[in-house]
Structure 1
């Protein structure tokens, strides 16, 4: 198994705090995502490069089967798992003006990752309050592939919109989830808490000297610029960063039907043109003669094959008539010369996630039938093909959860809480918030969207479900809350070791 891989020193935990009876299974599991700054920077750069091209390329996570599952009859009332608990949210902005519509929380965003097949995927998620203000909560299946290995290049982008990361990108360092999800792919534990590094943004690039380039510990590369042969020779004499590519090779005469043949025109004397035939072969006429009007000086100095005539025409104009024939060639090649410029990629440290966007509260062992506000980025079409959502902007559902838990047999779930809601996949991992304050845009995470159901059989999503957050969830959250992370780059933008 992969559990207990987080370094104790980094997590700020003691061996005693992590111990459990030898005969008992642990309630939590953890895996490293990108704990080293170099790996974290690589993940952030992958998603932010080319103005967020990879972010825009990603598609919502989707199940590997066609039919949407159904919820199986109510199983029980609120699970009896101890006293209910709450951890207060934290905020970073002043209260918003009261409005009739729901104010979207600043903590909401998308997580991006690469699955085993190499596809770029995303889910919904939120920042959640924690000891080190560095925690994200989402669905477990948005971190673990089939409850086993973690996804690659996992990042959180709060406030994501159309390839933009307005508050930076936060790379996952350590993932924490329920032992049963990690071991048995049991969706009663379909949640994950991910400790993320400080956020970063790419702040452009700058050209520097070789000595500065060599000393720089951050992202850097050599950018090629094409130069002339003389500039290349001068660069070599000065021991600069320069090189050549290719070779000089003249064009070869070929027939017009030769693959890749290129038609060129060759200026010839009037008699050669007059004797040439009309057609597509070598030496055949190339269009009609071209009359060029020139100055007296140009006319006097002209020594080409064109026809100068006997002097100026009646209007006093001097002209030269040019005649062309065809030339079919296989294009030649020429050696190209390049000079390297030393470039530094400059990144900016944005600080801890919770300090930038705040963090939602956390709740567990809460009674069923509570009013919740659920946020997410739905994108997938309904089973009938209708696609009401784009995934570009967040959506929400409001209502009371059912008073009893349900089974979702496809996912080995026995105690899921459910809500009537038409959001589709893409909203996976979005927070279920109780006691949501529309002014402060905060509440208490009491679940995350896990599955989608077509309960009435009309080929449209009408219910969503979440694992019930109980004492085991609180235990996983508490372990994740201890995980310490760090800045990836220095104040100067250098990669930290």
Structure 2
């Protein structure tokens, strides 16, 4: 990870923005996700439609490699680039004593769609910020690889996610912040991201309204067509006129076969048949009574065309009839024969009648993310060897194919991080921190919480799961690694800390502009 050229003197990020010398290389990057309310509403509706069908369809993100990233070598023990600092957590959970590990209310899943249309998820957590609107996750769960300035589509965070349900609402990403080197070079030394999200909201059902109210509604809306009988249509159309919800549609029906002497309006149709069908019908004396007519069309063609059709006929690609005339043994003329039966039919139409029903989607503003579920603290420039508790939603199988995790519920690992940083050549990593842990893919993006208070369910995010490793080579994940939260991470966090977002829906569930 690129190092800042100056020490960080702040102990918390409520102070003024960090100043970067004009000559310094960039250390952070930001990209828009869905800053417009209409786009944000559409993304949330996409995921929550049909009782969360798209959410259940999504699969855990997979690193773009067939091999497990290998931990290469232990390196330096000093990974700081300035003074240590942290910002404290907030919580909405009631303190509760327990011998077991209590799951934080802040953790959940982020969902997104990649450029190929595939739906994926990662783990994440709400963190403390001035605007109470930040999510921390892995950078590769926000920024699409091999695409400079390219972020995933339909990005949302759902805290407390469980089987298609969003108990605290859906929070749509507005702005994403990460390390410059990750955004530009796919350098996983900076595999972290902070995302500013809009106020959360929940879809609370539907309401049928009149056409005028439907036209004014700025949120989700749709029309259902109900087929009705003619007498109901006549009454409704007389009451509301052409501007009302009643309408009709003319449709052609399958023509009905009639005799040649049918007294009404009729049409003579022409249908091509095979030679055998033609000969059979022509010999049927009853057909004359029905007014059917038979026609053989003998079309002259060139010898070249004749040979082409003959070849197709031999390959089974053409089923017509060919004919040739000769003088002695010499071919003099070539023909393509077509056979037709003509039939009198009564052409007709039918009229179908409909009534439109107008529905609007109702939504409820849930408030700012940090006000609803709280936010974990953030720490940087801490020495390695910290005691951490790591949370995530593991789902992928181990390299040997065993799949102990479902991804449905969050899991955790606890222990001390390694006292040296590690290199991972596969993703250009020079310094990662590691923890012995058997969680697998799907847990990426999950928080590494230092000083975790099990009663308050809060701590300080000092990393996010980036990669999974098989260190002892037995085809089982035994270590996870994270970017080291140093002064550069603090700089990116500080930029995200001031990102302002807004409510998506109003007090009546309407879409705001």
Q: Using a 3 Å threshold, how does the CA distance of structure 1 residues 76 and 252 change in structure 2: closer, same or farther?
A: farther
Q: How many Å separate the matches in 1 of 2:350 and 2:399? A: 57
Q: Does 1:230 align with 2:231?
A: yes
Q: Using a 3 Å threshold, how does the CA distance of structure 1 residues 245 and 432 change in structure 2: closer, same or farther?
A: farther
CA offsets per residue over residues 318-340 of structure 1, 9 Å max, x none? xxxxxxxxxxxxxx996543211
Q: Using a 3 Å threshold, how does the CA distance of structure 1 residues 398 and 335 change in structure 2: closer, same or farther?
A: farther
CA offsets per residue over residues 375-407 of structure 1, 9 Å max, x none? 000001111111111100000001110000001
How far apart are 1:220 and its partner, in Å? Answer: 1.8
Q: Using a 3 Å threshold, how does the CA distance of structure 1 residues 339 and 360 change in structure 2: closer, same or farther?
A: same
Determine the structure 2 residue equivalent to 1:69: 69
SS of 2:91's partner is coil
CA offsets per residue over residues 84-122 of structure 1, 9 Å max, x none? 1111000112202x2221000000000000011100000
TM-score by length of structure 1 reads 0.78
SS of 1:46's partner is helix
Which residue, 380, 384, 401 being the options, matches 1:368?
A: 384
Q: Contact 2:17/2:494 (CA < 8 Å) preserved in 1? A: no
How far apart are 1:177 and its partner, in Å? Answer: 0.3
Q: Does 1:434 align with 2:445?
A: no
SS of 2:471's partner is coil
Q: Does 1:249 align with 2:253?
A: yes
Q: Does 1:55 align with 2:59?
A: no
Q: How many Å separate the matches in 2 of 1:136 and 1:57? A: 23
Q: Contact 2:18/2:494 (CA < 8 Å) preserved in 1? A: no
SS of 1:418's partner is strand
How far apart are 1:249 and its partner, in Å? Answer: 2.1
Determine the structure 2 residue equivalent to 1:444: 460
Matches within 5 A, 1:50-449: 50-96=50-96, 98-146=97-145, 148=148, 149-237=150-238, 238-239=240-241, 240-245=244-249, 247=251, 249-250=253-254, 335-449=351-465
How far apart are 1:425 and its partner, in Å? Answer: 0.4
Q: Which runs of 5 or more residues in structure 2 are unaligned?
A: 1-15, 258-347
Q: Using a 3 Å threshold, how does the CA distance of structure 1 residues 101 and 230 change in structure 2: closer, same or farther?
A: same
SS of 1:174's partner is strand
How far apart are 1:244 and its partner, in Å? Answer: 3.8
SS of 2:184's partner is helix
How far apart are 1:226 and its partner, in Å? Answer: 1.8
Q: How many Å separate the matches in 1 of 2:156 and 2:19? A: 30
Q: How many Å separate the matches in 1 of 2:180 and 2:31? A: 11
SS of 1:426's partner is coil
Q: How many Å separate the matches in 2 of 1:214 and 1:45? A: 19
CA offsets per residue over residues 141-197 of structure 1, 9 Å max, x none? 000011631000000000000010000000000000001101111101000000000
Q: CA RMSD in A?
A: 1.8
Q: Using a 3 Å threshold, how does the CA distance of structure 1 residues 334 and 440 change in structure 2: closer, same or farther?
A: farther
Q: Contact 2:80/2:383 (CA < 8 Å) preserved in 1? A: no
Q: Using a 3 Å threshold, how does the CA distance of structure 1 residues 213 and 406 change in structure 2: closer, same or farther?
A: same
Query: How many residues in Structure 1 have an aligned counterpart in Structure 2?
Result: 403
How far apart are 1:458 and its partner, in Å? Answer: 1.1
SS of 1:41's partner is helix
How far apart are 1:233 and its partner, in Å? Answer: 3.2
How far apart are 1:45 and its partner, in Å? Answer: 0.6
Q: How many Å separate the matches in 1 of 2:207 and 2:220? A: 11
Q: How many Å separate the matches in 2 of 1:74 and 1:51? A: 48
Which residue, 461, 474, 482 being the options, matches 1:466?
A: 482
Q: Using a 3 Å threshold, how does the CA distance of structure 1 residues 459 and 245 change in structure 2: closer, same or farther?
A: farther
Determine the structure 1 residue equivalent to 2:319: none
Q: Contact 2:364/2:505 (CA < 8 Å) preserved in 1? A: yes
Determine the structure 2 residue equivalent to 1:256: none
How far apart are 1:207 and its partner, in Å? Answer: 1.0
How far apart are 1:20 and its partner, in Å? Answer: 4.3
